[in-house]
Amino acid sequence: MAQDLGHTQFFKVETPQETAVGKILEVVYEAMVEKGYNPVNQIVGYIMSGDPTYITSHNGARSLISKVERDELVEEMLTQYIHNNNWDQKK
């Protein structure tokens, strides 16, 4: 069978890392709410500055978020935003 070399093939498998980033954000978000912080403001502060003190240590949230690169956090949030707004359906 001859391959059609005129078209680009795409193959994407969700890696455990991508799933882990979403779960880490969920745990961090919940910990921030439980401690009475505004999770959006605090997570943005962390992403912009890299200062882990923006994140509470409650439920290990600070330790968890420190295991993920900040650009991976932004990528995960943007991916979810695009998906939730159905922009990925507008191809």
pLDDT tens digits in sequence order for the chain, 91 residues long: 456 667 776 666 555 555 699 999 999 999 999 999 999 999 999 999 999 999 999 999 999 999 999 999 999 999 999 999 999 887 5
- pLDDT value of position 7: 73
* C-alpha span between 47 and 15 (Å, rounded): 22
Q: How many domains does the chain have?
A: 1
Can you give the residue range of the structural domain that contains 40? Answer: 16-76
DSSP-based three-state secondary structure for 12: coil
Residue 66 lies in a domain: yes
Secondary structure percentages of the chain, helix, strand, coil, to 5: 65, 0, 35
Backbone angles phi, psi at 57, to 5 degrees: -85, -5
Q: How far, rounded to the nearest angstrom, does the alpha carbon of residue 46 sit from its chain's CA centroid?
A: 13
- pLDDT value of position 89: 81
Residue 3 lies in a domain: no
